[in-house]
Amino acid sequence: MSQFDVTIIGSGPGGYVSAIRCAQLGFKTAIIEKYSTLGGTCLNVGCIPSKALLASSHHYEELQHFADHGIEVSGEVKVNLEKMIARKQAVVDQTSGGVKFLMDKNNITVFNGVGSFESATSVKVTKADGSSEIIESKNIIIATGSKPSNLPFIKLDKDRIITSTEALKLKEVPKHLVIIGGGVIGIELGQVYLRLGAQVSVVEFMDRIIPGMDASLSKELTKVLKKQGMKFYTSHKVQSVERAGNAVTVKAENAKGEIITLEGDYALVSVGRRPYTDGLNAEKAGVKVTDRGQIEVNNHLQTSASNIYAIGDVVRGAMLAHKAEEEGVMVAEIIAGQKPHIDYNLIPGVVYTWPEVAAVGKTEEQLKADGVAYKAGSFPFKALGRARAGGDTDGFVKILADAKTDEVLGVHMIGARCADLIAEAVTAMEFRASAEDISRMSHAHPTFAEAIKEAALAATENRALHV
């Protein structure tokens, strides 16, 4: 029987990063993965493949605007979706292979199979061929992630009525893709196929898309995507999704009680994700699971069994790969007797459309609800020399600061390179910077990052220079 100091169940970003940190801290470490490849949802059917398709489709879209830059492309330009999907898979394989390399480099033992608890210190690994073995471990970290959610009346056939997993490997560009859910995943995949020539309609129950982010970001992204041709049906409750042959019919009720009907050839159900604990047998280890299927944890991510921890999508909080990574490192260091911490308010959120959307800290809606006096400063990308030079003028940066202390409370941005720019805001807020602090930092010219400085100036006595 194999014995370890720490065993991690699940090899997604939270799990494999936690395993590496455990190994760095001198623990004999094992990781259990039910699938044949490492990396979990993010690397295999989530973050990485979707970004690969977003990048490929963005290149195709950019071709349509080459003439604006004095570049004339002669001949027919065609989309080869099969090659695009193959490239996506090559990126996935390379990235997953990189995780395997890191496991070997750090002497982490990898077990392929389904991990299920036998007790608080033993885990059974059931392999694909039906055989099994028992692992003994002093500490265990649950990192089993999440799966796409569904509505109870929708029958997923994974052919025409699909989840994000199937949307990453379609064999044709849809004629009309109906997306149920206007969150991050649906909007990103919607833009992929919109660029490739599909008609895309988004049906969202809430009154706006990306409803968890600042309302100003939602408004701007909606405006830009409408300009690109995407159609939105917000404040619509889906009533039914039916397939007949290659046709899919979606019926939804609007705010007035009227039923609208959308006819498409594919329906992408993108209504969030649910924690995945199937087959874990958590009760055998004395681990409590909430009514929502989440593993119950304390502030140290410790479960009701003192030697068992849980991280990532399977616990409370945002379902983000980088949040899971931070939690994985924190738990490893807690087991080692250190005193790490995570400020969940400073975990950024990103939508990888173009323009990109990114945010950290409090939204205006949250500050108003909490009765916090604040001031806001915004700066549009169209006023940036770099944005005009590149032709990426959609969007803005908005900084929210405490009305009395000037401490930055939230930064919200939409525009080119915002997924990378948000790190500056996180850094500033980690060190409790004021809007004035940011406004006095030199930013290279011409860059997109200048928008952050200008927004900070706008929040500091309305001192923006270029508007």
Q: What is the pLDDT along the chain (467 residues), one digit of tens a residue?
A: 799 999 999 999 999 999 999 999 999 999 999 999 999 999 999 999 999 999 999 999 999 899 999 999 998 899 999 999 999 999 999 999 999 999 999 999 999 999 999 999 999 999 999 999 999 999 999 999 999 999 999 999 999 999 999 999 999 999 999 999 999 999 999 999 999 999 999 999 999 999 999 999 999 999 999 999 999 999 999 999 999 999 999 999 999 999 999 999 999 999 999 999 999 999 999 999 998 899 999 999 999 999 999 999 999 999 999 999 999 999 999 999 999 999 999 999 999 999 999 999 999 999 999 999 999 999 999 999 999 999 999 999 999 999 999 999 999 999 999 999 999 999 999 999 999 999 999 999 999 999 999 999 999 989 999 99
Q: In the structure encoding, which two tokens stand for residue 416, read together?
A: 């080119």
Strand positions, DSSP E, 245-355: 247-253, 259-264, 266-269, 273-275, 308-310, 349-351
Strands 396-402 and 374-380: antiparallel
Q: In the structure encoding, which two tokens stand for residue 464, read together?
A: 């923006």
For residues 193 and 54, the answer to whether their CB atoms sit within 8 Å is: no
pLDDT score for 1: 77
The span from the CA of 153 to the CA of 361, in Å, is 36
The span from the CA of 98 to the CA of 95, in Å, is 5
For residues 359 and 413, the answer to whether their CB atoms sit within 8 Å is: yes
pLDDT score for 238: 98
Cα atoms in the 13 Å half-sphere on the side-chain side of 435? 31
- Residues 244-280 have pLDDT tens digits of 999 999 999 999 999 999 999 999 999 999 999 999 9
Give the number of other Cβ atoms within 10 Å of residue 6's Cβ: 27
For residues 5 and 29, the answer to whether their CB atoms sit within 8 Å is: yes
DSSP state letter for 294: P
For residues 262 and 252, the answer to whether their CB atoms sit within 8 Å is: yes
Q: What amino acid occupies position 298? A: N
Taking 3-state DSSP, the helix, strand and coil percentages for the chain, each rounded to the nearest 5, stand at: 35, 25, 40
Provide the annotated active-site residues. Answer: 445
Q: What's the chain's length in residues?
A: 467
Torsion of CA 91, 39, 272, 140, to 10 degrees: -170
The span from the CA of 223 to the CA of 22, in Å, is 46
Whether omega for the bond prior to residue 446 falls within 30 degrees of 0, making it cis, is yes
Query: Where does residue 299 rank: exposed (0-12), middle (13-18), buried (19+ CB within 10 A)?
Result: exposed
Rounded to a whole number, what is the distance in angstroms from the first to the last CA of the chain?
69
Torsion of CA 435, 438, 439, 440, to 10 degrees: 130
DSSP state letter for 416: T
For residues 135 and 302, the answer to whether their CB atoms sit within 8 Å is: no
For residues 303 and 309, the answer to whether their CB atoms sit within 8 Å is: yes
Strands 247-253 and 259-264: antiparallel
